[in-house]
Chains A and B, each alone.
Chain A
């Protein structure tokens, strides 16, 4: 028997639950179902015809004799995606933490302006921003011109359409998602604790390592999740700046639903990605369920 208070609470969460079911759970279930259907001859699916072919296709392809042979193309794209998203996370963290620290230490009347600056890129569409990077990075683009102007080598750098270009684009796109959560946790930080650390003999970097970073850990972790997971699924940036040579999972999935007309495979890829992300989150939760700094 549910107590009145309890059923009242359930009633209050009902709208949120309804939204989650309608907009998250149902589409997910639909995708899960599509991933175990046969693909239709001209795209779409054949409803009612069940197969795990789509999951097999991730690692194997059928040769002419209809034998399964190992095909690592897709696996390589997955690995590249994890690698690029991981590197993006590390670089945004390396840039974002000092930025957030600087913002948190700035006089309060400047902070609003600094937050505004960090969010300025959101004012332009992601597509537009990526095209801007094309203009910057292409041969004899602005980066090359600037380099030549200050006498740093001649000839093009050939940056565009490389994984490096994708990395630059990803770091640029996701930096605010790293800066803002870290800033939020640093802004709440009790700086008297840092003063206490100085009083007890800590140098600046010791205070940073032993006090500031552990206490900002929730923000750091949130920032990493907010960069890594969307980074894994990114597809506009690798499409435009990678020029098809640095495909990521997002591009692969998109092409299965688009040009390749293989919905089940696209759905299966999405689920493989989802499963990996869930595993990563689980591993993180197991590691960090205790408050930060509890183990040592």
Chain B
């Protein structure tokens, strides 16, 4: 880590098992992460990969089976949730149905026995922050989904935590509201300067909102990086496949020099990559469709036959067969009528710049 400040949250080789014996479930397997202060950090992964479990460990609802967690440099092992400088926005919001909006937001402050005047001021401030002024006296049942979500946010923020944990806070909202709340969350994160740990299984959401993303699968963290790192330079087959569309090609490394390596996908189809691999190893290559270049009559490139052409508005996806056996797709921007440039049955030449060809681990 480049910066000297202690990590806002540090997760050190944490494992979590549920149950014991033969039917034990390993929800987290040696997860290590270091979150920087003021960071919008996203945990991204498919259902059941352990995202909620990791949040619950940080919040203190569960204890790790192995490893340790530090918040602001302090180990928190054994600390109950109410002693941790962390608050959670639950996936189900978990608003107290028998309390008004204002009472919900005031709850944490009342538990910490703050003076009444301070509570009133903080509640007003938080409701203004999430733009819910005027709804103080409503009950959760009288609010829309987006409004409930904001109350949950205000309630967690009112406690002035150091770290805010958000467990798929937007998954219950419709698309439009979701976009709105994404912007809202970013605005609030800027305004408060807090560390946000945001859980989602929506890759688009993760890419647009995060400072950094940890991609999880099967209880492990596969890759941590900026959205650009994750998208442009995936390290694992799973990461490349989970985020965006990708072409995955099985290949064998046949040559290797300072500028990278050459890999053979099939007879006559050789691809250059900027990464290096030992000659003779089997590798998986990931190539984003939009980095693929298609030409009708280029002298270089691999020959491919067009199978289908699909129009997507801003771009067109061309599905091809490489060397008669490998399916492959390219995405062409719809400028100058690209959709009419290719038709099924055409023979085209395909190429990709070496830096767009990534060697990924399985």
Chain B window 109-135, contacts with chain A (Cβ cutoff 8 Å), 1 for yes, 0 for no? 001100000000000000000000000
Residues of B within 8 A of A277 (CB): none
Chain A's closest residue to B56 (CB) is A195
> B108 in the interface, Cβ–Cβ < 8 Å?
yes
Chain A window 177-198, contacts with chain B (Cβ cutoff 8 Å), 1 for yes, 0 for no? 0000000000000101101111
> A148 in the interface, Cβ–Cβ < 8 Å?
no
> B210 in the interface, Cβ–Cβ < 8 Å?
no
* Known contacts A195-B61, A292-B98, A293-B99; is-contact A200 B107 (Cβ 8 Å): yes
CB <8 Å contact, A192 and B82: no
Stretch at the interface among B40-48, B85-93, B225-233, B291-299: B85-93
Q: Of A200, A214, A292, A296, which one neighbours B155 at CB under 8 angstroms?
A: A200
CB <8 Å contact, A199 and B88: yes
* Known contacts A195-B61, A199-B59; is-contact A211 B96 (Cβ 8 Å): yes
> B80 in the interface, Cβ–Cβ < 8 Å?
yes
* Known contacts A198-B80, A198-B81, A201-B159; is-contact A210 B92 (Cβ 8 Å): no
Q: Of B59, B81, B97, B108, which one neighbours A215 at CB under 8 angstroms?
A: B97
CA distance A210 to B104 in the complex (A): 11
CB <8 Å contact, A199 and B98: no
> A291 in the interface, Cβ–Cβ < 8 Å?
yes
Category for how many chain B residues contact A: 20 to 34
- Which residues of B333-349 are within 8 A (CB) of A? none
CB <8 Å contact, A192 and B90: yes
Residues of B within 8 A of A296 (CB): 103
Q: Of A190, A195, A201, A294, which one neighbours B108 at CB under 8 angstroms?
A: A201
CA distance A190 to B90 in the complex (A): 13
> B94 in the interface, Cβ–Cβ < 8 Å?
yes
Chain B window 63-107, contacts with chain A (Cβ cutoff 8 Å), 1 for yes, 0 for no? 000000000000000001110001110101011111100010001
Name the distance in Å between B264's Cβ and chain A's nearest Cβ.
54
Residues of B within 8 A of A202 (CB): 82, 107, 111
CA distance A206 to B109 in the complex (A): 13
> A287 in the interface, Cβ–Cβ < 8 Å?
no
Residues of A within 8 A of B111 (CB): 197, 200-203, 206
CB <8 Å contact, B61 and A200: no
Chain A's closest residue to B112 (CB) is A201
CA distance A211 to B92 in the complex (A): 16
Residues of A within 8 A of B108 (CB): 200-201
Chain A window 203-246, contacts with chain B (Cβ cutoff 8 Å), 1 for yes, 0 for no? 10010001100110000000000000000000000000000000
- Which residues of A61-104 are within 8 A (CB) of B? none
CB <8 Å contact, A199 and B81: yes
Residues of A within 8 A of B61 (CB): 195, 198-199
CB <8 Å contact, B82 and A198: yes
CB <8 Å contact, B96 and A193: yes
Residues of A within 8 A of B81 (CB): 195, 198-199
CB <8 Å contact, B107 and A195: no
Name the distance in Å between B112's Cβ and chain A's nearest Cβ.
5
Residues of A within 8 A of B88 (CB): 196, 199
CA distance A291 to B141 in the complex (A): 12
Q: What is A's interface to B at a CB cutoff of 8 Å?
A: 190, 192-193, 195-203, 206, 210-211, 214-215, 291-294, 296
A-B contact pairs, 7 of them (CB 8 A): A193-B94, A196-B96, A199-B82, A200-B82, A200-B111, A200-B159, A203-B82
Closest 10 interchain pairs by CB?
Answer: A293-B98, A200-B108, A196-B94, A201-B111, A198-B81, A201-B82, A192-B94, A202-B111, A214-B98, A199-B88
Q: A197-B111, A201-B111, A215-B97 are in contact. List 6 more A-B contacts (CB 8 A).
A: A192-B92, A200-B107, A200-B108, A200-B155, A201-B112, A202-B82
Q: What is B's interface to A at a CB cutoff of 8 Å?
A: 59, 61, 80-82, 86-88, 90, 92, 94-99, 103, 107-108, 111-112, 155-156, 159
